[in-house]
C-alpha cells in the first residue's frame, strides 16, 4: 500500500492520479476534508480507503505498521503563506511530519515529503539544495519556517539522506481549484480574462525589475508528480531536493502565455502591491536543479508555454477539469 497524505489537495491528488497511471490503486488517502471542495479532486481517482488526518496520526504514532506500507508521500500541510497561528503550523506541519517520518523509517517504507521553496526566504543565500546551507536560510513567513524546522530536524537526526524532502517552487496545474487565494496566478487569470478581458499583475518596487518583470520558476504539476514517482522508485536518491525547472520566467511571460492559450490578445493592467506583503515579496526564484540531475533524473520539463496551454485548453476550458485516472 502507498499512503498519500493531503491526498485530496492539489499535489496529493495529482500524485494519486500518477499512481493510478502506473497501475496502482492500493492507496490510503489521508486528509482533513472539512467543508471544503477538496473532495472533488478524488472523484475521478482510484484508491482503497480514506482516513481523517487525526485518526491516521493516532494509528501511526503507535508501534508497528497497521498498513503494510511500501511508501509514504507526505503532502499534507497547511500551505497558506499568510497563516499567523504559529503553534498550529508547528503541530500540523513540523511535528506531524516528524512522527510520520519516524513511522516510515521504522517500517522500511520510502518517505517522500513536501518541504517548500519558501524556506529560501528572499533568496539572499541563493537557491541551492546543498545540505551545508540549510541552517543559514531565513524564511520570510511562518509557513516556510515550519518546513525549514523539519529539514533541520531530519539533518540533526541523521535521516535526511534516507528520505526525500522536496522543495517545490511555483507549481501550477489542475486540481488546485479549491485553494482560494492560494491558487496559482494562471488559475485566477483564466477567470479574470474570461470575465474582464484583462489580467492584473503587481507593480514592481525595485528599479532593476520592470512592472510584471518579477521572476519565478514555474513548474507544471505533471512534471512534479513524475519526479515524485521516480523518487519512490529510487530510494537511493535522498536528501533535500529542489523541484522546479531551473529557469526563471517573468510574470509578463506567464500572462502572455495564458492569453495565447486562450486565443486572446494580451492586455495587462499593473496594480499596487498590498503594503502588508511588500517587504516580504520575492522578486526572483529559480531552482538549482543540478542535484536531482546528478542523482539520475533525466526527464525534460515542459516549457512554460506548453504547460500553460495544456492546463488552459485541457482543463480550465473544460466543464469537468479535474485529473481523471481513466485518461492516459
**Strand duo 239-243 + 215-216: pairing:** unpaired
For residue 22, the model assigns a pLDDT of: 97
Q: How far apart are CA 293 and CA 54, in angstroms?
A: 37
Q: What residue spans define the domains of the chain?
A: 2-172+218-246+285-302
Judge whether residue 327 has pLDDT over 60: no
CATH class of 2-172+218-246+285-302: alpha beta
Average pLDDT over residues 206-232: 97
Q: Is the CA virtual torsion 194, 270, 247, 14 positive or negative?
A: negative
Instruction: Using alpha carbons, select from 283, 224, 278 the residue that is nearest to residue 248.
Output: 283
Low-confidence winner among 49-58, 72-81, 154-163 (lowest mean pLDDT): 72-81
pLDDT digits 0-9 by tens, 32-72: 998 789 999 999 999 999 999 999 999 998 878 888 999 99
Mean pLDDT to the nearest integer, 180-204: 93
Q: What's the pLDDT tens digit per position in 237-294?
A: 999 999 999 999 999 999 999 999 999 999 999 999 999 888 878 899 999 999 999 9
Among residues 310, 302, 206, 201, the alpha carbon closest in space to that of 246 is found at 302
Q: Taking residues 207-231, what's their average pLDDT?
A: 97
Q: To the nearest 5 percent, what fractions of the chain are helix, strand and coil?
A: 40, 15, 40
The Cα-based distances of 57 to 6, 91, 225, 252 in angstroms read: 13, 12, 24, 43
pLDDT band, very low/low/confident/very high, at 83 (cuts 50, 70, 90): confident
> What pLDDT score was predicted for residue 182?
83
pLDDT at 140: 86
Euclidean distance between CA atoms 111 and 284, whole angstroms: 30
Annotation says 291 is catalytic: no
| Phi, psi (deg, nearest 5) at residue 63 | -85, 150
> Which one is catalytic: 120, 143, 220, 311?
143
Q: What is the pLDDT of residue 123?
A: 86
Residue 328 has pLDDT above 60, yes or no: no
Question: pLDDT for 284-314, tens place per residue?
Answer: 999 999 999 999 999 999 999 999 999 999 9
Rounded to a whole number of angstroms, the CA Rg of the chain reads 19
Q: What is the pLDDT of residue 326?
A: 67
Judging by DSSP bridges, how do beta strands 215-216 and 249-250 pair with one another? Answer: antiparallel
pLDDT value of position 124: 87
CB burial class (10 A; 0-12, 13-18, 19+) of residue 17?
buried
Between helix 96-106 and helix 142-156 the angle, nearest 10°, is 30
Residue pointed to by grid coordinates 503550523: 89
CB 26 within 8 A of CB 2: yes
Q: What pLDDT band is residue 29 in, cutting at 50, 70 and 90? A: very high
Compute the average pLDDT of residues 143-165. 96
Report which DSSP code applies to 245. Answer: -
pTM of the complete model: 0.94
**Which one is catalytic: 50, 177, 179, 264?**
179
Highest mean pLDDT among 7-11, 117-121, 122-126: 7-11
Q: In the prediction, which pLDDT does 101 show?
A: 97
Does 311 qualify as catalytic in the annotation? no
Average pLDDT of the chain, as a whole number: 94
Place of cell 507526505: 74
Cα separation of 107 and 95, whole Å? Answer: 19
Rounded to whole angstroms, the Cα distance separating 6 from 124 reads 31
Q: Residue 321: is its pLDDT beyond 90?
A: no
Residues in Cβ contact with 163 at an 8 Å cutoff, skipping those fewer than 6 apart: 101, 104, 105, 111, 112, 113, 154, 238, 239
Amino acid at each position: 500500500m502507498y499512503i498519500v497524505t493531503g491526498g485530496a489537495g492539489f499535489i496529493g491528488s495529482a500524485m494519486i492520479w500518477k499512481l493510478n497511471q502506473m497501475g496502482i490503486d492500493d492507496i490510503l488517502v489521508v486528509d482533513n476534508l472539512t467543508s471544503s471542495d477538496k473532495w472533488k479532486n478524488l472523484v475521478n481517482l482510484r484508491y482503497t480507503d480514506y482516513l481523517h488526518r487525526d485518526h491516521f496520526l493516532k494509528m501511526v504514532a503507535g508501534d508497528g505498521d497497521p498498513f503494510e506500507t511500501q511508501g509514504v508521500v507526505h503532502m499534507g500541510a497547511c500551505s497558506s503563506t499568510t497563516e499567523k497561528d504559529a503553534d498550529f503550523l508547528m503541530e500540523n506541519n513540523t511535528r506531524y511530519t516528524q512522527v510520520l517520518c519516524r513511522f516510515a523509517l521504522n517500517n522500511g517504507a520510502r518517505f517522500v515529503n513536501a518541504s517548500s521553496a519558501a524556506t529560501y526566504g528572499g533568496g539572499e543565500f541563493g537557491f541551492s539544495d546543498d545540505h551545508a546551507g540549510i541552517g543559514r536560510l531565513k524564511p520570510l513567513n511562518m509557513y516556510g519556517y515550519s518546513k525549514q524546522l523539519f529539514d533541520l530536524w531530519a539533518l540533526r537526526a541523521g535521516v535526511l539522506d534516507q528520505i526525500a524532502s522536496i522543495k517545490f517552487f511555483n507549481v501550477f496545474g489542475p486540481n488546485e481549484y479549491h485553494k482560494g487565494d492560494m491558487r496559482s496566478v494562471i488559475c485566477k487569470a483564466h477567470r479574470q480574462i474570461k470575465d474582464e478581458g484583462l489580467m492584473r499583475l503587481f507593480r514592481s518596487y525595485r528599479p532593476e525589475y520592470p512592472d510584471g518583470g518579477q521572476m519565478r520558476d514555474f513548474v507544471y504539476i505533471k512534471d512534479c508528480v513524475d519526479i515524485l514517482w521516480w523518487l519512490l522508485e529510487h530510494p537511493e536518491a535522498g536528501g533535500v531536493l529542489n523541484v522546479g525547472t531551473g529557469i526563471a520566467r517573468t510574470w509578463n511571460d506567464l500572462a502572455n502565455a495564458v492569453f495565447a492559450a486562450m486565443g486572446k490578445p494580451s492586455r495587462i493592467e499593473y496594480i499596487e502591491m498590498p503594503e502588508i506583503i511588500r517587504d516580504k515579496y520575492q522578486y526572483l526564484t529559480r531552482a538549482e536543479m543540478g542535484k536531482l540531475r546528478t542523482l539520475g533524473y533525466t526527464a525534460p520539463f515542459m516549457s512554460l508555454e506548453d504547460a500553460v496551454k495544456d492546463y488552459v485548453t485541457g482543463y480550465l476550458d473544460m466543464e469537468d477539469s479535474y485529473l481523471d485516472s481513466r485518461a492516459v
